[in-house]
Structure 1
């Protein structure tokens, strides 16, 4: 009976968090409240003083998740937000976007955003950094092309988390976690990975264009806001090719130091991007000091929102019902590829983290499936792709950061397109991967 109540509390808390997020409620309030609901239904003590020494409790587990995320990512968020702001204030973002529009045409502005995100992601730049870095250019592109700005988060997410993040050879952590447990390489299942990546890229972009064209047909256009840095197109823009150098600096530095420094390489890379932007375009700045200050404040809001959701995941993972759910999911009968994909995807949805879904499920799945003789390369690629699906439910940390903190949109406006491209498309990609691997490819 207690197990059923715990499950109701866990999935009910998640459903309530998703509902309140879609309604636009403040995550700093809703995340701890829904986490408290999960804790109560699962019989977790609220305070550490009420629990046995070292035992799980609501306050400790929530704050460990919250503060742990900030401790790991604050400087990266800070550097990423400032980099985006200085690219915007110097006119570098506008310059690059105008050059791209001139080359590929106004109608392909959304494609330019997707490609920019894909290049950075496959180059090893963190998803959060990609969103911070590309957003100023995306805003400028959508403004010039007069496209509804609510599709910017969808373009950012699609270019970052689908056909690049989990593909063979990607330096993103989602492609590297399985290596430890399956003894594979980053290029595991590369033949199938190519097919799946091409499918997700073509189908996803077609869907994005269809949604944008439907909105345009309904009369939607770009609407400027008072918070936008540039209300009118600037005439004194820096050279577009020189303005691309800071982006190249971020890409090159992160690629060089990715293996040796891990995520810390991103701090150096983004700091290098800020310095390069200042040195190359310093005479074009409106107010460099204000751009840095605005970026810093934006970073605080962004990481606080994301950390609030990570704290929710910290409470969920400590509950007995979560352990029971993991046991059920890792014991799914039938094809191990289907079982593995489902387990990783669902756990990623519960924790709001694609890497979390893999890190929790693989230690349990890998030994069992390898003993059954499952092809480790096929399992690697399948769970990698599936991890990038349900992690993008409305309460996911990356989702909240991209839609609310970076783009300033509401979930009601931006999430339908975002969810279609970052949840549905990867699910279809996972199904395709399972089919191709089952056919012996």
Structure 2
């Protein structure tokens, strides 16, 4: 029964990737995969859906809906004011078209660190990346890799980043967003430098092979140079406000809750860049933002519901025990456990929502500080989550860039799976050697 149950979880994972790659609806996908886990583990099918699936679904919704909502409103504010586009264009202007492979992920990273969602970052920077890759004659099919690297790796999981990937462990472990700051920043810095080096080598080899920029139908290459956008310095202020409100403490107590801090950033963006907004359209933009938040969180909740069934499978404890008892540094098991669960979910945030409550207390009980556990799990969540079935990867590659996985995913894999995994191992070494750094 044990072997059959483990095989069932592996099959469910494979089915999850296959159905997502084929474009099946996320809810149909997770319901089918849930059924596979329930049957192979000999669980009561009704209980699996009614209790375990719905508990995982509703718990994640209750804990994180307000964060999704305020984060989406922040992203919407930066989008409708032109603030996000202004920041992206400013960074790319400084770096120049010759260094497009640096400027594109940096533009994404600045926005992402300030609380703008990965989806919105990609949509804001893509038109600019298109211009830059065209001007530098860089192969178009590598734009998804540059975007995904900037939005879903070093900036998303860095200490202080106003993202769900800090919010989940912070909520469960009682830590701050700056937990494990020194070692965390070094690990994320490694990801940034290693990723840029890899991207440069990859693009140079492509040009040596004679690859060029090949425009697709619908590409708007010539952007209006006279487009009226906010000053990039002004556009940065809401991001700074958000980061300050979320991370600043008085007498050890945060001056604002995460949701309050992000909402403060959204309001400041609207006020500071009011003249770039059509006031009559604000109610519509608010409604669109709320709908987007609901769509985003329910998709994650559905995956979390599947994870809830998998974690209640009789064989799941065997799997987690094997991860916890991996030979070598204790934190290595934490990295493996977190990234495997995130990979099964196809979501870093969904994986953390499952992994932190299960693995976090185990490692804290072993004497590892909650701050270390927080940062290691955040780092590890950004690796296997970026497998082909990840919703963000599919959206950016196929929906936004109109590229195929065959043409663009190999670079994306190296930048968003391999590099973060190596960065997580750097974190293991640093936290093992220097566990008491702030």
Counterpart position of 2:383: 389
Instruction: After TM superposition, give the deviation of residue 88 of structure 1 in Å.
Output: 5.3
Instruction: Evaluate the alpha carbon distance shift between residue 117 and residue 68 of structure 1 in structure 2; reply closer, same or farther with a 3 A threshold.
Output: farther
Task: Quote the Cα distance in structure 2 between the aligned partners of 1:329 and 1:308.
Answer: 25
Counterpart position of 1:52: none
Instruction: After TM superposition, give the deviation of residue 326 of structure 1 in Å.
Output: 1.1
1:248 maps to 2:247:
no
Instruction: Single out whichever of 99-108 and 388-397 deviates more from structure 2.
Output: 388-397
Q: What are the residue-to-residue correspondences of 1:279-318 with 2, within 5 Å? A: 279-282=274-277, 299=293, 301-318=295-312
Tell me the secondary structure at the aligned position of residue 327 of structure 2: coil
Instruction: After TM superposition, give the deviation of residue 8 of structure 1 in Å.
Output: 0.9
Aligned residues between the structures = 417
Instruction: After TM superposition, give the deviation of residue 69 of structure 1 in Å.
Output: 4.3
Instruction: Evaluate the alpha carbon distance shift between residue 267 and residue 398 of structure 1 in structure 2; reply closer, same or farther with a 3 A threshold.
Output: farther
Task: Quote the Cα distance in structure 2 between the aligned partners of 1:185 and 1:27.
Answer: 30
Q: What are the residue-to-residue correspondences of 1:172-211 with 2, within 5 Å? A: 174=165, 177=169, 186=178, 188=180, 190=182, 192-211=183-202
Counterpart position of 1:53: none
Instruction: Evaluate the alpha carbon distance shift between residue 184 and residue 231 of structure 1 in structure 2; reply closer, same or farther with a 3 A threshold.
Output: closer
1:18 maps to 2:17:
yes
Q: Is the 8 A contact 2:363 2:373 kept in 1?
A: no
Which whole-Å deviations, capped at 9, do the CAs of 1:239-268 have from their partners, x for residues lacking one? 441x55344314413531454312453344
Q: Is the 8 A contact 2:88 2:108 kept in 1?
A: no
Correspondence for 1:137 among 124, 128, 137? 124
Q: Is the 8 A contact 2:338 2:381 kept in 1?
A: yes
Q: Is the 8 A contact 1:46 1:58 kept in 2?
A: yes
Counterpart position of 1:265: 261
1:58 maps to 2:49:
yes
- TM-score for both structures, normalised by structure 2: 0.76
Correspondence for 2:106 among 86, 101, 115? 115
Correspondence for 2:414 among 417, 420, 441? 420
Which whole-Å deviations, capped at 9, do the CAs of 1:129-182 have from their partners, x for residues lacking one? 332442343112112112566545533443344334445565656568389769
1:431 maps to 2:421:
no
Tell me the secondary structure at the aligned position of residue 107 of structure 1: helix
Instruction: After TM superposition, give the deviation of residue 420 of structure 1 in Å.
Output: 1.9
- TM-score for both structures, normalised by structure 1: 0.76
Instruction: After TM superposition, give the deviation of residue 385 of structure 1 in Å.
Output: 2.8
> Tell me, which stretches of 5 or more residues in structure 2 are unaligned?
248-253
Counterpart position of 1:37: 36
Instruction: After TM superposition, give the deviation of residue 91 of structure 1 in Å.
Output: 5.3
Instruction: After TM superposition, give the deviation of residue 391 of structure 1 in Å.
Output: 3.2
CA RMSD of aligned residues (A): 4.1
Counterpart position of 1:100: 91
Task: Quote the Cα distance in structure 2 between the aligned partners of 1:87 and 1:149.
Answer: 26
Q: Is the 8 A contact 1:346 1:390 kept in 2?
A: yes
Q: Is the 8 A contact 1:392 1:399 kept in 2?
A: yes
Instruction: After TM superposition, give the deviation of residue 337 of structure 1 in Å.
Output: 3.0
Instruction: Evaluate the alpha carbon distance shift between residue 344 and residue 407 of structure 1 in structure 2; reply closer, same or farther with a 3 A threshold.
Output: same
Task: Quote the Cα distance in structure 2 between the aligned partners of 1:106 and 1:437.
Answer: 38
Task: Quote the Cα distance in structure 2 between the aligned partners of 1:291 and 1:337.
Answer: 44
